[in-house]
Amino acid sequence: MLSTYELLIEIDKKKKKVQNSPDTYLKKSHQVRKNLRGLADVHSFWLENPDLRKRILEEQKESDARRLKQRSRKYVKHIVDAWNYLSRVDDGNGHYNFLDPNTIIKLGELIGPNNQGFRSGRVRINRFRFIPPNYVKVPELVDKFCYELKQSDYHPIEAAAMVHLELTGIQPFVDGNKRVSRLLQDKILDCYDYPPAFIHSGERQVYLDLLDQALIAKQDNDLVYQRPFFDYIAGKVNTALDEIIDDLKIN
């Protein structure tokens, strides 16, 4: 098991508690999840662009601050458009049939306008020790990963975190790889009625350190050092369920 068993049990108990409150669930839970999804989109952008966020906060000239905010909104819209596209893709009744190379390519192009299919050159992940594979291996690795996940028996939260980890490691695109990975992660969670794993931009360094550690550990087939990343993602789902339970006033 990739995540801590007790944590997954706790999450599933909270999910059941929400689903067992049909009146409040039907009336409000989808709106609460939608609000969390919106926050996830914004912070997904800020996670990758901390310098731009800092410039906006520190900018003294109103005109320059407005220009930077407009630029930010444009890129957040790319994430929203990609999520809307992904939301229309059939979830395959829990078998991840939406997960295929063509869908991943489309997401990459929506997230990063400069992406034209899979990358055709070498890349590095800024400040990571992990080195992504040669670009010639990308199509094969993506296809293999999609196939293997569909055949797996992971808990949905583990499967979601695995998508995040694997695609970040493959780095299929020139730009936007982690954003695409987080979108696919949240799509899997949504298919199983879990809220998104909302990672606040203020946790950027913690998140990146855990991700880098997990990528190196996976390369070494070391489950022990992968677990903190999987528990981190599961913890985000757990916290989101706490917010839903609190907002819906469920006892």
Reading phi first (left if > 0) and then psi (alpha if -120 to 50, else beta), residue 194 is in: beta
pLDDT at 191: 86
What pTM does this model have? 0.85
Greater confidence (251 vs 39) lies with 251
pLDDT at 87: 84
Instruction: Look up tokens 């055949």; give the residue.
Output: 151
Angle at CA of residue 137, ends 149 and 146, nearest 5°: 15
What token pair was written down for 114? 């400069």
Task: Please give the distance of CA 126 from its chain centroid, rounded to a whole number.
Answer: 18
pLDDT at 137: 97
Greater confidence (155 vs 18) lies with 155
Greater confidence (130 vs 65) lies with 130
Instruction: Give the count of beta carbons closer than 10 Å to the beta carbon of residue 190.
Output: 19
Instruction: Look up tokens 């979108």; give the residue.
Output: 183
pLDDT at 52: 54
Least confident of 7-16, 87-96, 111-120, 177-186: 87-96
Q: How many residues are there in the chain?
A: 251
Least confident of 69-83, 98-112, 221-235: 69-83
Domain CATH code at residue 14: 1.10.3290.10
Residue % of the chain over a pLDDT of 70: 78
Helix ranges (DSSP H) in the chain: 5-19, 22-24, 30-48, 50-58, 62-88, 101-111, 138-151, 156-170, 177-191, 204-219, 227-247
Residue 54 has pLDDT above 70, yes or no: no
pLDDT at 110: 93
pLDDT at 140: 97
Give the integer Cα–Cα distance in Å for 189 and 195: 6
208 is in which domain, residue-wise?
5-247
pLDDT at 79: 85
* String of DSSP letters for 23-41: HHIIIIIHHHHHHHHHHHH
Please compute the mean of the pLDDT values over residues 98-125 and round it to a whole number.
Answer: 92
Please compute the mean of the pLDDT values over residues 16-45 and round it to a whole number.
Answer: 64
Please compute the mean of the pLDDT values over residues 143-163 and round it to a whole number.
Answer: 95
Burial of 110 (0-12, 13-18, 19+ CB in 10 A): buried
pLDDT at 190: 86
Give the integer Cα–Cα distance in Å for 251 and 245: 8
- Give me the chain's average pLDDT, please: 84
Residue 105 has phi, psi (to 5 degrees) of -60, -45
pLDDT band at 159 (very low <50, low <70, confident <90, very high): very high
Cβ atoms of 184 and 167 closer than 8 Å: yes
Largest CA distance in the chain: 55
pLDDT at 182: 92
Q: pLDDT per residue over 192-218, tens digit each?
A: 889 889 888 788 899 999 999 999 999
Report the domain count for the chain: 1
